[in-house]
Chains A and B, each alone.
Chain A
Amino acid sequence: MMSTKAKSSLFLQGALDSSPLILAAIPFGLIFGALAITTGLSSWATLAMSLFVFAGASQFIAVTLLASATALPVILLTVFVVNLRHMLYAASLMPQVENLPQKFRFPLAFWLTDETFAVVSNRVARKDDTSGLHWYFLGSALAMYTVWATCTVIGIIMGQQIPDIASWGLDVAMLVGFIGIVVPNLKLRADWACAATAMFSTLMTYHWPNQTGLLFSSFLAISVAILLDRRVKVSVEQNHE
């Protein structure tokens, strides 16, 4: 059993390690709030979406499709497809949550975002001892959730003042944040092959509808990485003995 002090220290560490990515998400929250109300969503519904859905990409897609008067089933299907990457994230963290009670798994799943996944999986990759990882996860997630909700509110107010804020290109902050997560973790030949395949495949499939190119490219890149991965070959051989 972990001491309260150890838990809160892990919680704070999670929030701290996430801070560069959370700062990078601020513009997205602002733009979402601003964009949503300019497309006709009410202020309360805009805030509710950030509080209950809590998934940046899905929220942007819903609002963008709403603006073009897309039918509800089409919006929902698109949201679902885009969210399938969260299923990959959750699957890759399964070994880390398998000893947790369900009361923890619910909030962790609800708060699983690109940012928190990036930071938590980075810790799993770098540390041998990941005990109390759920406190670290919760620290990252709650910090992200609080900032996201706050930024949505500020964005709603800004949207009423600065109508063209969505065209400022502020989403770049998130991209350089992801670079900072991916590149330092490129160590093996298989890692580089994975990244290169993901990039080239995305360039070949970007015109596919509803981010299906993203999913296809991710699966292809993972397959290529596995074929080149020495460690898998070794573990498979050991299994045969």
Chain B
Amino acid sequence: MNEWLLIGAMTVLTFTPRYLPFGMAGKVKIPPILERALTFVPIAVLTSIITQSSLIRDGELALNLANHHLLAVLAAFVTALISRRLFIIVTVGLAAFIMAKWLL
């Protein structure tokens, strides 16, 4: 396969969905209910990404102590309920991951 053809096509297919809404902004008026719906996008998409990468490992539901990603995410979640600071949340999550790797 021609790797440059792959990269060229991927560039177009990645840029287009990113650009289309920006290009149309101001020309089309978004209905208020849709605008409100879009404010939920970060929570919906990011939660889905977190779920599929922490609760599911190697294509299987993994609710156990051997799932270090899940332990790290849970530690970060509890921290986030107490502190809103991103840096602290990330640090505690990573510390939990490293400890789980060492201890479990």
Tell me the A residues contacting B by CB distance below 8 Å: 19-21, 23-24, 41-42, 45, 48-49, 52-55, 58, 62, 66, 72, 75-76, 79-80, 83-95, 97-100, 102, 105-106, 108-110, 112, 114, 117-118, 121-122, 125, 169, 171-173, 175-186, 190-191, 194-195, 197-199, 201-203, 206-207, 213-214, 217-219, 221-223, 225-226, 229, 231-232, 235-236, 239
Contact = CB atoms under 8 A, between A and B. Distances in A.
Contacts of B81: 183
Interface string B77-104: 1001100111101101110010001000
Interface string B34-46: 0111111111111
Q: What class of interface size applies to chain B in its complex with A?
A: 35 or more
Contacts of B59: 206-207
Majority SS at the chain A contact face: helix
A206 B53 CA distance: 10
Contact of A231 (B30, B36, B48): B36
Contacts of B8: 52
Given A169-B69, A176-B72, A62 B18 contact: no
A99 B19 CA distance: 15
A206 to B, nearest CB: 5
The 10 A-B pairs with the shortest beta carbon distances in the complex, nearest first, are A176-B93, A183-B80, A98-B26, A180-B89, A92-B38, A90-B21, A109-B19, A198-B47, A87-B17, A176-B76
Given A198-B48, A221-B48, A231-B36, A94 B22 contact: yes
B50 to A, nearest CB: 5
B93 to A, nearest CB: 3
B90 A83 contact: no
Given A55-B14, A66-B1, A87-B21, 17 more contacts: A42-B3, A54-B14, A72-B1, A75-B6, A105-B22, A175-B49, A177-B86, A179-B73, A179-B77, A182-B42, A198-B44, A199-B55, A214-B45, A214-B48, A221-B48, A222-B44, A225-B43
Contacts, number: 276
- From B5, B48, B54, name the one whose CB has the most chain A CB atoms within 10 angstroms: B48
Contacts of B97: 169, 172, 176
Contact of A171 (B26, B53, B90): B53
Interface in B47-68: 47-56, 59, 61, 68
Nearest to B26: A98
B1 A45 contact: no
Contact of A79 (B4, B10, B93): B10
